[in-house]
């Protein structure tokens, strides 16, 4: 089935001029007054007139899947929270519950959340407030990566405006008594700067960093919804995921399902729009908003001005380096949550494709990716700590021409033996390392074979213990 855009698919970026709908030079930070004047906080006001469980049900109806990489259904995740203890009000001692916003965005090739925080910070704050109401949370922490200096400043300024206008804090917008039994709604929101570590993008590593500890992922279970930040129930959502909430509440969950696409392999659907940051060898890179299901070729040729210098397409990392690579015969790959099962990659991830042209040295790409994962491994799990180093050494040896064909097999063996999917590590960093290198080596095997020497092992046949061949 050919891809067809929905009628209204440009709403996450409706205040951020983006080609072909606007000029990049017209971008500016949207303040509180402009945000409200363009429909901002209407979704929150509607949500506050609904019971928390009804807001959650609307999000479940939309089938919004997490936009941070895993694609887990957002509304379903919210239902994993335990109920507030009887006789307690959220926020009281013994009834603390938190929202942790993952704004770390440290996956190489990913820069979509940065655009949202750069220019439309109040849309994120509105999504945070809606989530806190739906899940009865009283404190939200925006964990933003250490390198996002400007974005942190923009969020801090927006938070000041939000507090001044009663979005957060003591003078928070009030819920109607019939929906809460007189319970007062108050949410406090904070920006927490990270120190610049890839592993803190993993949700439990993020929680450790929020608590002021080294960003080491935790063993699960218990899962964050039961025992998260400071040992209390915690919801962790990505920036883009939360920014979808105001429109879902304002227009309804059914409206959201009119965008995106159904699954073609019998899995959950890929509804809604998705921000896709395109980089690499294209003429016009940038962040765009598309319905899920758009073919990669359409993105490159219709929105990015085609391949740079008229060269041929060779491959693309579809959603951050840990997702693996699409080969030269997968230019038509549909950018939806089925991509992993259909094209032998780990998944859609952040849906930010890095495009490579025909002159790209894929051995060098593999070596560079191996270097990154070796550097960013937290070192907590031996298979990842040691395996990432071995893979980097093997990739360097292959690139320099000092390897044999046995080293190709050894690299694949090492990769497939490390990661949370084979059950050898706590988090998925090793899986990302494995999928990135394995898909490159398998889909560009000829390039690797031309860089190595054949491994000749003489075989002799003997008869008897003392016979000589």
Q: Dump pLDDT digits (tens) for 166-180.
A: 899 876 665 444 455
Reading the block at residue 427, the tokens are: 């988090």
Residue 469: what pLDDT? 47
User: How high is the mean pLDDT of the chain?
Assistant: 90
Query: In 3-state terms, what secondary structure has residue 156?
Result: helix
Residue 259 tokens read as 């965008």
Q: Is the peptide bond before 222 cis (omega within 30 degrees of 0)?
A: yes
User: Which pLDDT score, from 0 to 100, does residue 171 have?
Assistant: 65
Query: What are the residue ranges of helices labelled H in 63-146?
Result: 74-78, 112-119, 121-135
Q: What is the pLDDT of residue 41?
A: 93
Residue 310: alpha-carbon gap to chain centroid: 31
CA atoms in the 13 A half-sphere facing the CB of 71: 23
Q: How far apart (Å, rounded) are the C-alpha atoms in residues 193 and 380?
A: 23
Band of the pLDDT at 28, cuts 50, 70, 90? very high
3 state SS of 180: helix
In Å, what is the CA distance from 11 to each residue of 17, 21, 29, 250, 453?
Answer: 11, 11, 17, 12, 54
Q: What percent of the chain has pLDDT above 70? A: 92
- Spatial separation of the C-alpha atoms in residues 109 and 100, rounded to whole Å: 23
pLDDT at 14 over 50: yes
Mean pLDDT of 243-262: 94
pLDDT computed for residue 21 by the predictor: 82
pLDDT band at 362 (very low <50, low <70, confident <90, very high): very high
When pLDDT is averaged across residues 233-253 and rounded to a whole number, the result is 95
> Does residue 467 carry a pLDDT above 60?
no
Within 13 Å, how many C-alpha atoms sit on residue 44's CB side?
28
| Spatial contact of 438 and 395, defined as CB atoms under 8 Å apart | no
H or E element that contains 54: helix 52-62
Q: What are the distances in angstroms from CA 61 to CA 45, 70, 81, 244, 466?
A: 20, 19, 18, 13, 76
- Strand, helix or coil for residue 273: strand
State how far Cα 225 lies from the chain centre: 19
Q: How far apart are CA 348 and CA 71, in angstroms?
A: 8
Q: What is the 3-state secondary structure (H, E, C) of 27-49?
A: CCCCCHHHHHHCCCCHHHHHHHC
Burial of 209 (0-12, 13-18, 19+ CB in 10 A): buried
The pLDDT of residue 40: 93
Contact 128/101 with Cβ under 8 angstroms? yes
* Closest to 117 measured CA to CA, from 71, 150, 139, 69: 150
- Whether the predicted pLDDT of 5 surpasses 60: no
Confidence of residue 182 (pLDDT cuts 50, 70, 90): low
Cα 8 to chain center, whole Å?
24
CA 12 to chain centre: 16
pLDDT at position 43 is 94
pLDDT at 22: 86
State both tokens at 227. Answer: 């025992």
Q: Is the pLDDT of residue 8 over 60?
A: no
Tokens of 86: 């009887």
- Measured between alpha carbons, how far is 288 from 278 in angstroms, rounded to an integer? 8
Contact 132, 242 (CB under 8 A): no
Angle between helices 382-400 and 405-416 (to 10 degrees): 160
φ and ψ at residue 448, rounded to 5 degrees: -75, -40
Q: What is the pLDDT of residue 7?
A: 45
Confidence of residue 184 (pLDDT cuts 50, 70, 90): low
Beta-ladder partners of 274: 290
Mean pLDDT (whole number) for 327-352: 93
Q: Give the mean model confidence (pLDDT) for residues 91-104.
A: 91
Task: Quote the pTM value.
Answer: 0.90
Does residue 461 carry a pLDDT above 60?
no
pLDDT at res. 9: 57
- What is the DSSP pairing of strand 273-280 with strand 354-357? parallel
The answer on pLDDT for 45 being more than 80 is: yes
**The predicted structure's pLDDT at residue 92:** 82
Nearest of 327, 352, 347 to residue 443 by alpha carbon: 327
**Structure token digits, residue 468:** 């000589």
Give all strands (DSSP E) within 73-169, no chain letters.
Answer: 98-103, 139-144
Segment among 24-28, 39-43, 85-89, 304-308 with least mean pLDDT: 85-89
Name the β-bridge partners of 236.
100
Over range 14-18, report the average pLDDT.
92
């Amino acid at each position: 089935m050919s891809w067809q855009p929905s009628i209204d698919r440009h709403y996450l970026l409706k205040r951020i001029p983006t080609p072909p709908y606007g000029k990049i030079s017209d971008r500016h930070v949207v303040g509180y007054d402009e945000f409200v004047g363009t429909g901002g906080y209407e979704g929150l006001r509607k949500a506050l007139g609904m019971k928390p469980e009804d807001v959650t049900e609307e999000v479940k109806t939309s089938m919004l899947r997490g936009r941070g990489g895993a694609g887990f259904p957002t509304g379903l995740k919210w239902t994993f929270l335990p109920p507030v203890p009887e006789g307690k009000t959220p926020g009281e001692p013994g009834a603390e519950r938190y929202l942790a916003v993952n704004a770390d965005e440290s996956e190489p090739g990913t820069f979509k959340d940065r655009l949202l925080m750069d220019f439309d910070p109040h849309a994120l704050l509105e999504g945070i407030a809606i989530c806190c109401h739906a899940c009865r949370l009283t404190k939200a922490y925006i964990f933003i990566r250490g390198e996002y200096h400007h974005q942190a400043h923009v969020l801090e300024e927006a938070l000041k405006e939000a507090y001044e206008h009663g979005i957060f804090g003591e003078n928070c917008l009030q819920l109607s008594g019939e929906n809460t039994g007189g319970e007062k709604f108050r949410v406090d929101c904070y920006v927490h700067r990270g120190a610049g570590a890839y592993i803190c993008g993993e949700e439990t590593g993020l929680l450790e960093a929020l608590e002021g500890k080294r960003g080491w992922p935790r063993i699960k279970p218990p899962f964050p919804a039961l025992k998260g930040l400071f040992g209390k129930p915690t919801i962790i959502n990505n920036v883009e995921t939360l920014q979808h909430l105001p429109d879902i509440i304002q227009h309804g969950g059914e409206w959201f399902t009119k965008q995106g696409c159904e699954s073609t392999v019998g899995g959950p659907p890929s509804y809604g729009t998705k921000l896709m940051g395109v980089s690499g060898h294209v003429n016009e890179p940038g962040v765009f908003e598309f319905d899920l299901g758009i073919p990669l070729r359409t993105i490159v040729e219709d929105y990015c001005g085609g391949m740079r210098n008229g060269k041929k397409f060779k491959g693309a990392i579809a959603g951050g380096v840990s997702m693996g690579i699409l080969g030269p015969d997968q230019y038509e790959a549909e950018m939806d949550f089925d991509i992993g099962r259909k094209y032998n990659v780990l998944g859609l991830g952040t849906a930010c494709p890095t495009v490579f042209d025909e002159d790209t040295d894929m051995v060098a790409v593999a070596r560079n990716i191996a270097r990154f994962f070796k550097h960013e491994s937290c070192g907590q799990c031996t298979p990842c700590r040691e395996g990432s180093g071995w893979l980097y050494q093997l990739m360097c040896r292959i690139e320099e021409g000092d390897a044999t064909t046995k080293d190709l097999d050894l690299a694949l063996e090492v990769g497939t033996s490390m990661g949370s999917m084979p059950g050898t590590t706590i988090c998925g960093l090793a899986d990302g390392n494995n999928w990135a290198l394995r898909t490159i080596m398998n889909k560009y095997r000829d390039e690797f074979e031309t860089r190595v020497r054949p491994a000749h092992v003489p075989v002799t046949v003997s008869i008897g213990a003392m016979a000589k061949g």
